[in-house]
Amino acid sequence: MYSTIDDFMDYVELKNPGEKEFHQAVHEVVESLWDYLKDNPHYLHSRILERVVEPERVIQFRVPWRNDRGDTEVNRGFRVEFNSAIGPYKGGLRFHPSVNISILKFLGFEQVFKNSLTTLPMGGGKGGADFDPRDKSDGEVMRFCQSFMTELFRHIGPNTDIPAGDIGVGGREIGYMFGQYKRLKNEFTGVLTGKGVSWGGSLIRPEATGYGTVYFAEDMFNHEGKSIQGKTVTISGSGNVAQYAAEKCIQLGAKVISMSDSSGFIHDKEGIDEEKLSFIMDLKNNKRGRISEYVKKYQNAKFEKGKRPWSLECDVALPCATQNEVSENDAKLLIKNGCKCIAEGANMPCEPGAIKQFKLNKILYAPGKASNAGGVAVSGLEMAQNSLRYSWTREEVDQKLKEIMINIHKSCLEYGKGKAAGPEGPADVGSGSGRPPALTAAQVVQHPEVAGLAAMLDAVGFCIDIVLVHRDDSRALVTADGLHLAVDFTAKTGVELCTTLHQQALEALVLPAGIVPRNTRLICG
């Protein structure tokens, strides 16, 4: 058993040497769970953390293929099957030169929690290869995908592992792999998501992650009585997530001023409208060109080579490119330039220092585990429609996606309350500064509606220290070391004990439901 977070991280780093991205992801989650685990040491004795951070299976294989010149090339393929406690493994395939076991383990680990938040029965996994589809012909991509699937097919299935697309894996790549899977297995099953519509794909699967990110940002604004309409938005990336995040922002009346790729970013002060976005989509999806070509077409825009768009003045920032693209200095610059909201479209795009700055400055911040869960949610819907042999309309899928994102935001509000790491006091996950002031312990006990209930709670061993927020449904949320006590002011007869967002997901994955430790003492640290 480990006495501190550092002790546990020493264990993780010793078992997984050199995997810095995986270490970062584990540290972020464990840090949010630690106080609760210390108060309930039986979880530590059961080795819950060790079980959660260890993938169930890690598959690595050789991928030989032939280029257009007739030369044989060799790449390395992976599939990390992380956790199947609540459903078959589910997560994307990434084709990019940066792919290694550390990145895939971090992505698979995050995917476990993200998938549980959707409320759909999906486990977590991730895979891919260090292959770069950029500048490759369709024939080369096809031959690589067929070779990749020739090995992968024996490890996946509709009830085992259902991969999807990710960076470098779009409709073209999914199509080639799905065709090879059908040929090898002699069956048509929903084993891959992100397929074309003619093969059983969802009508808004490519749009889902980008749409979901914007829906989540809109929910955060709505919670504070505001709207994303009229806001200036800066977006990084120019793949599916960034493209459709921009599309949804435009539809909701926001002004998008930037997009990027690995070469740099474009800044269009006039705003990227539907016509300009169509040009970008054609440029990136069909011509597979560089974002810098935008300024040749629209000469009022500027291209900043080798930079990211976080120096621009904006109201909303949507990092939709890759991990660790927003540093602590970037965060300070965003805040200085008036940014009010950050919603992560990519996986772990903000470094720990950046997240700290957002919390300290009461900025609306949506972690990728929640805000980019729209993609995997619609993947789950695609799995469902494949099983049913039935297709929903575009409007139906979009509405289901919106409802899922609203419910995820509600879960963040209800279970994700926490304390900021500085003197600013309590801060909310997925929320900002417009909260009622907290009551002190003395005020709680003196409150006429609570006095009798407080006495009852004290008699059974509970200690109320601080109320974070009064809800519209006549309840108050009391926080303490990762636990919430919801006090019903109207009934005055009982309480409901629940856990934080991460802990709720953890218990759903590894513990029987309905277990509440006895003699739990609620003390606000």
* Token pair for 421: 């790491």
Per-residue burial over 264-295, b = 16 or more CB atoms within 10 Å of its CB, e = otherwise: bbbbbeeebeeebbeebbebbbeeeebbbebe
User: Cα-Cα-Cα-Cα dihedral of 445, 447, 451, 455, to 10°?
Assistant: -20
Cβ-contact 402, 216 below 8 angstroms: no
Neighbouring-strand partners of residue 216: none
Cβ-contact 315, 235 below 8 angstroms: no
Rg, C-alpha atoms of the chain = 24
Query: Beta 316-319 vs 232-236: how paired, if at all?
Result: parallel
* Token pair for 20: 């810095």
- Chain centroid to CA 484: how far? 23
Tell me how far apart the alpha carbons of residues 393 and 197 are, in angstroms, rounded to a whole number: 11
Query: What is the number of alpha carbons within 13 Å of residue 19 lying toward its C-beta?
Result: 25
Catalytic entry in 126, 231, 284, 419? 126
Rounded to a whole number of angstroms, the distance between the first and last alpha carbons of the chain is 22
- Chain centroid to CA 433: how far? 23
Q: Which residue has the tokens 């209930």?
A: 453
Please state the φ and ψ torsions of residue 439, each to the nearest 5 degrees: -95, 150
- Chain centroid to CA 474: how far? 31
Contacts of 41 by beta carbon, 8 Å cutoff, 6+ apart: 1
Tell me how far apart the alpha carbons of residues 266 and 170 are, in angstroms, rounded to a whole number: 23
Neighbouring-strand partners of residue 483: 480, 499
Cβ count near 46 (within 10 Å): 12
Helices 352-360, 20-39: inter-axial angle, 10-degree rounding: 50
Closest CA to 319 of 290, 291, 349: 349
Active site residue 287: no
Q: How far is CA 297 from CA 89, 235, 270, 291, 300, in A?
A: 43, 20, 14, 11, 9
Amino acid identity, position 91: G
Residue length, the chain?
525
**What totals of helices (H) and strands (E) does the chain contain, helices first?**
19, 18
Tell me how far apart the alpha carbons of residues 378 and 213 are, in angstroms, rounded to a whole number: 13
Active site residues: 126
